A and B are shown apart, each in its own frame.
Chain A
């Protein structure tokens, strides 16, 4: 008989294309990798609400305000789907939030850049959500059941996010010279950070091997980044935006675009906490978490009180 609690049996289930569910045996490394990746993903959804939230009160029309509110509400929901999914691995929500607030857990570095003007809202939706979608579409086939199910739900909601961003960019590119310049400036600032969202090159990413073997990741960082580049450059060109890279070109043989090398020093600097907004993002999260504590405490007190009443009347 096979041993259901062995790593070999686990790997054979993965190789067979089976999904792993919360109560199934899993190697400690698999669980740890999932907790790290999924919580980082959840935190990114939640922290990502901040740069966009900054523009709700200043959206240029009622239509764009409604759209932005709906998008940000979706991102909050994505965070919640993902937190629930991580909790199935035996970590509590309180622990996850503490890891975020103490800096033990990371979130995507992209959200440490500021949204300076309305064109940034366009660039975020189009490029940042666009990059996130490429990653999330691939993760729909991840081997951990609850993660995969959360991704399916998220992907259904994401395409509106990217389209609303591209619509903003398109409108600005059809506008005045100043509006065109704003859109191009936002493109210039967000292009490279968006490419860095996929993480280090495969050759420099030590954990990637296990994640691919365990089918947590179904495609590597570089494969996903290339997909994003190939579909985004024609979208930029269609509306007259210039790629901020003098050396980019289409390789006629492979059909893929090639770019200048990415500046990883900047990436590591921002990951290490020295981006423009790292401190602001965490401070904001901690402040509102603490200010909301009384609501959670009141809800708990109300629960206890009503439970006592039911006991008396029963």
Chain B
């Protein structure tokens, strides 16, 4: 028998309601975008879970390396001027 193919891996993002962000739902296997879309619909939105779907070939997604987390996601606590509470407003200032 020929070596088995399981097609390509695609990541699926679903928007549950217009105006909301697209959220990663899982993945599907498919040979092209049409099949990926159909499979994503059948597997992830059988109960009105979404109003819109994105499918992206998994190989085109780059993820950050957890080893870089300290550098990438440093909360920059020394840069308190990034927060509105840093600023001194004059007495009586309203709606600001």
Binding site for B on A (CB under 8 A): 4, 21, 23-25, 73-74, 77, 80-81, 84-85, 87, 92-94, 97-98, 149-150, 153, 156-157, 290, 293, 296-297, 299-300, 302-303, 306
Given contacts A77-B43, A84-B28, A302-B32, contact A4 B7 (CB under 8 A): no
Measured CB to CB, the closest approach of chain B to A26, in angstroms, equals 11
CB pair B6 A296 closer than 8 Å: yes
Selected interface stretch from B60-68, B74-82, B85-93? B60-68
Contacts of B35 in A (CB 8 A): 299
CB pair A84 B27 closer than 8 Å: yes
CB pair B6 A92 closer than 8 Å: yes
Contacts of B47 in A (CB 8 A): 156-157
Measured CB to CB, the closest approach of chain A to B19, in angstroms, equals 22
Q: How far is B4's CA from A97's CA once the two chains are assembled, in angstroms?
A: 10
Q: How far is B65's CA from A57's CA once the two chains are assembled, in angstroms?
A: 51
CB pair A296 B67 closer than 8 Å: no
Selected contact of B66 from candidates A24, A81, A98, A290, CB within 8 Å: A24
Smallest CB-CB separation from B69: which chain A residue? Answer: A4
Q: How far is B4's CA from A293's CA once the two chains are assembled, in angstroms?
A: 7
Given contacts A23-B65, A25-B66, contact A300 B26 (CB under 8 A): no
Q: List 8 A-B contacts (CB under 8 A).
A: A23-B63, A74-B46, A149-B26, A150-B26, A156-B47, A299-B35, A300-B5, A303-B32
CB pair B27 A94 closer than 8 Å: no
Given contacts A23-B65, A24-B66, contact A297 B5 (CB under 8 A): yes
Measured CB to CB, the closest approach of chain B to A300, in angstroms, equals 5
Q: How far is B32's CA from A87's CA once the two chains are assembled, in angstroms?
A: 19
Contacts of B63 in A (CB 8 A): 23
Given contacts A4-B66, A306-B32, contact A299 B7 (CB under 8 A): yes
